[in-house]
Structure 1
Amino acid sequence: METHNSSTKDYLKAYKQSIENPEAFWGDQAARLAWYEQPQQVLSTDENGFYRWFKGGKLNTAYLALDFHVENGRADQTALIYDSPVTDTIKKYSYRELRDLVAHFAGALQGLGVEKGDTVVIYMPVIPEAVVAMLACARLGAIHSVVFGGFAPHELSVRIDDARPKVVVSASCGIEFDRVIPSYKPLLDKALQDSMHKPGHTVIFQRPQVAAAMQPGRDLDFADLLQQAEPADCVPVDATDPLYILYTSGTTGKPKGIVRDNGGHAVALKYSMKAVYGVDPGETFWAASDVGWAVGHSYLVYGPLIHGCTTILFEGKPVRTPDAGTFWRVIQEHHVKVLFTAPTAFRAIKKEDPEGEFKKKYDLPSLKYLFLAGERCDVATYYWAKDMLKVPVIDHWWQTESGWPMVANMVGLEEHAPKPGSAGKPVCGYDVQILNEKGKQLIPNQEGYVAVKLPLPPGCLPTLWQDDERFKKAYLERYPGYYLTGDGGYIDEDNYVYIMGRIDDVINVSGHRLSTGEMEEMVASHKAVAECAVVGIADELRGQRPIGLVVLKDGQTISEAQLEEELVAHIREKIGAVACFKNVLIVNRLPKTRSGKILRKIMRHIADGTPYTVPSTIDDPAILTEIHDRLKERKTGNAFAS
């Protein structure tokens, strides 16, 4: 098993070196990878003045993830476990088998004219063929852009027009719970009809549940191509060449294409698997994510495979596939050491099984850590998970832009006692600071803007896809010399970082800056509450004031009036009258993105009656109608207390 040398075993020593001498620190980490040509410069700047890592180095990400392990004793180790309760399928792929599939599909893409530097859009469910397509692109030095399978045709066409792919890879259908979703191919057809850019071909994986209609000349069968193709070799690329584009919502409505380079990405992910997550090669790591999200890219596909782990591709949900015990079944059956998921998944499990009855059916000796990210982990969920699993529960924080953790408990270096509500301490390479409006660094426990002093470490976005100006404006302009994360928070006297939500989730009540995240923790602590959101709404007297929207646990019958009375009293006791928290609404669901983030800003716009754009990443737009109706009902019925 791989171990870090003594110079990086201690967190404080490693962190200090990573900030004071990043070239030496990351040069040491880069030396742990197999390069075709070693980097000439660890850290440099390009013609735009943007920082770049490992200039002059040549490598191939798919080689590091597959061929390297086949050549060095892991050929027969399981690389990928496809566990699909929605199709009642479990299939395992060794490193050799996955390497061969990827090499052949890379050959198929090559036969369609895909070369180094070309782009390929992948629009697929959580199936092995999606992973094969991603790695096949990496093998050729082509740039993949995975688009989440639930996107509507307009959002897909926007991404096709921006990425301009030579080929689109898709599937005939998706499956959710006990329902087949046959619309993948029809949605793709509509997107291609509407897009200005027309890819040369689409490659369709025909799932057994649905056979999609094929357009002769354009649409090609995935299985047929795979069978006919000759395997392709790995193509060396520059460390600074793009590996993939991943689109994330932008404030203008046009998605931002986050670029990930090959060299920095590989170095950062390899480092993080042991240093952050405490996993060794040969062990099983499960990131319960869709391949369309940053977590799916970093910790379902690339991170575990580059590190030589076994990774799990799970096609299902934490509940109803078939029940709230499905996570425990997967952990027991596949000997998972680390589970990484979103707090929203655990809230869903808690809602359906508040007493943890399903957990009692399983024995989980393999599980050592639960990592949570994607949405701030409320204290109630933290303790529920900790009490049930009896393992460390580690909330950590990062972004699509960073590609790997920015704040965490780095258990591979030195385990710290978690502080509930905190995402941990800054990860090596990230000089995290809290700034005020004028860019001055704040003292401990003062809340402000979370920023990272440049340079960002390897693995973070070097720029946006074909939009350097937007990159500067969105992230670098406000505080020169810093990357602005867009989140608010504070750092305590022990250097623990508290992320209190997006900057627009901090509300100003009569001149007092108050965190809706802090109030949410208090609301979530109520025994009847499964999930909640606190948003700031316009108030003529105070500027803004908070209201709470609450989803009850199954079986709870408390009235809205009673719940409101209890929660108002609780927050008044904990924060004081200054919070001006006076209203609670019970709703069936909260509007979220497909990755589980609650859309607080949209709810604020609904409450205030101001225009808003429904984001492309929303899970179910119909929920907004319910929220609108409930807010309108309260306003016109007995009016919000003010």
Structure 2
Amino acid sequence: FILYTSGSTGKPKGVVHTQAGYMVWASFTFQNVFQVEENDVYWCTADIGWVTGHTYLLYGPLLTGSTTLMFEGVPTYPSPGRFWEVIDKHHVTIFYTAPTAIRSLMAHSVDHVLAYSLSSLRVLGSVGEPINEEAWHWYHQHVGKGRCPIVDTWWQTETGGVMISALAGITPSVPARAGLPLPGVQPVLLAQDGSEIEGNDQEGYLAIKASWPGVIRTTWGDHERARQVYFQPYPGYYFTGDGARRDEQGLYRIIGRVDDVINVSGHRFGTAEIESAINESEYVVESAVVGYPHDVKGQGIYAYVICKDGVPEAELDRQRVEGSIIEAVVAQIGRIAKPDKIQLVSGLPKTRSGKIMRRILRKVAEGETANLGDTTTLLDPLVVEEIVAGKK
């Protein structure tokens, strides 16, 4: 089948998967990551048009004969307790959702969660982007009641299924860590020259050393593009386009897209790293960070931030929020990583699958607002107009 990526960094690509290999990987990863049992009721909140909907809403559960719950709607309608109501009503045991959904629910009173028992749950999952520590702890404490393991899954449309993740209840579930590779998956960290970086407590480009059943076969109508993007940058490896860190225990942490690395005065920062720090501020629900040309530093840091209580109207309140954001970044990373510009916004330009279209944010930060490129997959185009109007 052909599934188009959302084009968060460029023109959408038609990713081609083959029947047998994809089905093997969907079944194997679904059963092992979630440790599915015979009487489980599984709920993946993803849209069916997204690869997560394909692999873990439909094919994985169907291949293993599992009960899968399908839901159409948003987590906050008719109330922010909608997800928890569904879980209790249908006795959901495994719940798989995106950090962006979790953060949107964190903006509301925790009473919406506490009103439900959620006693049927035994496994929680996260997908789509690295989950920041604050969201991880909220998810673990309030939804999982401190007893459910969280599988923070890393994979891509191109991989067909999960590649790096904890195995529920078996391997360590650690905040802000994807964890260990699945059996048979051989991740490596590469230096810019293509050499493998050995040992733990290391950082580099994430690549996969050997093939696996769910690997992308081509990009529809443009095989050369698949070769150039995934296999040519480092011959002999599948290049993920992500940066990663392997910690002291050998657990992998995804630090953001390689093309989202910001170089500030010679210091390289992953956008996910800075966003995670910003999100630690008591005022912040979600953020997105991009680089922009800076006369002195080479690149400056431009932060788009959604506040828990909306965009403050009073200048004094805005200063308080911005001060809190800077304090959080300095405490987590250091003064060198503090944002040069902070724009408080009511929303971020996201695709229907929940991905932030960073190229739009980057163009706005750089002052190139005349041509923002393809915006057909945006969930709410009005957000872009607001961001352009409020540019710092």
TM surpasses 0.5: yes
Shift of 1:393: 2.4
Instruction: Name structure 2 gaps, 5 residues minimum.
Output: none
CA distance in 2, matches of 1:593, 1:252: 11
- Whole-Å separation in 2 of the counterparts to 1:361 and 1:564: 33
Residues 273, 279 of structure 1: 8 Å contact kept: yes
The 3 A distance-change label for structure 1 pair 604 and 555 is closer
State the match for 1:325 in structure 2. Answer: 81
Once the two structures are aligned, what percentage of the paired residues are identical?
40
Q: Which residue of 2 aligns with 1:623?
A: 383
Alignment check: 8 A CA contact 2:191 2:204 kept = yes
Counterpart of 1:407 in 2: which secondary structure? Answer: coil
Kindly indicate whether the alpha-carbon contact (under 8 Å) linking 1:551 and 1:586 is maintained by their aligned counterparts in 2. Answer: yes
Partner residue in 2 for 1:280: 37
Deviation of 1:367 after TM superposition, in Å, equals 0.6
Give the alignment partner of residue 564 of structure 1, picking from 308, 317, 322: 322
Is 1:480 the counterpart of 2:235? The answer is yes
Kept after mapping to 1: 8 A contact 2:127/2:152: yes
Pairing 1:13-52 to 2, within 5 Å after superposition: none
Is 2:133 the partner of 1:376? no
The amino acid across from 1:468 in the alignment is H
SS in 2 for 1:301: helix
CA contact (8 A) 1:282 1:308 kept: no
Q: Can you list the C-alpha shifts for 1:242-294, whole angstroms capped at 9, x where unaligned?
A: xx111114599553221121111222122122211111244211110111110
Cα distance in 2, alignment partners of residues 281 and 263 from structure 1: 24
Evaluate the alpha carbon distance shift between residue 252 and residue 536 of structure 1 in structure 2; reply closer, same or farther with a 3 A threshold: closer
Specify whether residues 396 and 253 from structure 1 end up closer, same or farther in structure 2 by C-alpha distance, changes over 3 A only: closer
Q: If you compute each CA radius of gyration, which structure gives the higher value, 1 or 2?
A: 1
Amino acid at match of 1:422: R
Secondary structure, aligned partner of 1:507: strand
Q: 1:351 aligns with which of 89, 97, 107?
A: 107
Match of 1:360 among 110, 114, 117: 114
Which of 358, 363, 376 lines up with 1:600 in the alignment?
A: 358
2:94 to 338, 349, 357: 338
Partner of 1:405: 162
Deviation at 1:381, TM superposition (A): 0.8
Write the distance in 2 (CA, Å) between the matches of 1:530 and 1:572. Answer: 18
**Contact conserved, 2:97 with 2:126, CA < 8 A, in 1?**
yes
The alignment status of 1:585 with 2:343, answered yes or no, reads yes
Query: Paired residue for 1:440?
Result: 195
SS of 2:277 mapped into structure 1: helix
**Greater relative contact order, per chain length (Cα 8 Å cut-off, separation 6+):** 2
| Deviation larger for 602-611 or 253-262 | 253-262
Question: 8 Å contact 1:294–1:403 — kept in the other structure?
Answer: yes
- 1:528 and 1:393 map into 2 onto residues whose CA distance is 25
Shift of 1:570: 3.1
Which deviates the most, 500-509 or 416-425?
A: 416-425
- 1:597 shift after superposition: 1.5
Q: How far, CA to CA, are the matches of 1:253 and 1:471 in structure 2?
A: 14
Q: How does 1:48-63 map to 2 (within 5 A)?
A: none
- Which whole-Å CA distance do the structure 1 matches of 2:328 and 2:236 have between them? 42
**Distance in 2, Cα, partners of 1:461 & 1:621:** 31
| Aligned residue pairs, count | 383
Alignment of 1:75-114 (within 5 A): none
Q: Which amino acid is the alignment partner of residue 365 of structure 1? A: S
What residue number does 1:191 align with? Answer: none
Equivalent AA in structure 1 for residue 243 of structure 2: G
Contact 1:378 1:421 in 2 (8 A): yes
Deviation at 1:392, TM superposition (A): 2.1
Structure 2 Cα separation of the partners of residues 393 and 366 of structure 1: 15
Asked if structure 1 preserves the Cα contact closer than 8 Å seen for 2:210 and 2:237, the reply is yes
Which residue of 524, 529, 535 maps to 2:284? 529
SS at match of 2:130: coil
Match for residue 640 of structure 1?
none
Q: Which letter does structure 2 place at the counterpart of 1:357?
A: D
Shift of 1:450: 1.0
Preserved CA contact (<8 Å) 1:545 1:580: no
SS in 1 for 2:233: coil
Query: CA–CA distance in 2 between the matches of 1:614 and 1:454?
Result: 34
Is the alpha carbon distance of 1:584 and 1:255 closer, same or farther for their aligned partners in structure 2, counting shifts above 3 Å? closer
Name the aligned partner's letter for residue 379 of structure 2.
Answer: D
Task: Measure the CA separation in 2 of the matches of 1:473 and 1:251.
Answer: 18
CA separation in 2, counterparts of 1:497 and 1:618?
A: 31
Partner Cα separation in structure 2 for residue 410 and residue 252 of structure 1: 30
Q: Aligned letter for 1:628?
A: V
Please list, as runs of the form range in 1=range in 2, the aligned pairs for 1:285-324 lying within 5 A after superposition: 285-320=42-77, 322-324=78-80
Rounded to whole Å, the distance in 1 between the matches of 2:7 and 2:114 is 43
Compared CA separation, residues 577 and 364, structure 1 to 2 (3 A): closer
Question: Any stretches of 5+ residues in structure 1 without a counterpart?
Answer: 1-243, 635-642
Opposite residue 561 of structure 1, the aligned amino acid is: Q
Q: Which whole-Å CA distance do the structure 1 matches of 2:386 and 2:262 have between them?
A: 24
Q: State how far apart, in whole Å, the 1-side matches of 2:267 and 2:223 are.
A: 36
Matches within 5 A, 1:176-195: none
Confirm whether residue 503 of structure 1 aligns to residue 258 of structure 2.
yes
609-618 or 331-340, larger mean C-alpha shift: 609-618
Q: What whole-Å deviation, never above 9, does each CA across 1:298-323 have from its counterpart, x for those lacking one? A: 11111101101111110111112x11
State the AA in 1 paired with 2:91: H
Alpha-carbon distance in 1 for matches of 2:337, 2:46: 36
| Alpha-carbon distance in structure 2 between the residues aligned to 1:551 and 1:539 | 24
Task: Check conservation: 2:219, 2:225, Cα contact below 8 A.
Answer: yes
Quote how far apart the aligned CAs of 1:621 are.
1.8
| Cα deviation 1:496-532 (Å, max 9, x = unaligned) | 1111111122100111111221221111111111111
Which residue in 2 is equivalent to 1:105? none
- Quick one: structure 1 residues 623 and 614, their matched pair in 2 at CA, closer, same or farther if it must change by over 3 Å? farther
TM-score, scaled to structure 2:
0.92
8 Å contact 1:258–1:400 — kept in the other structure? yes
The DSSP-based 3-state class of the residue aligned with 1:425 is: coil
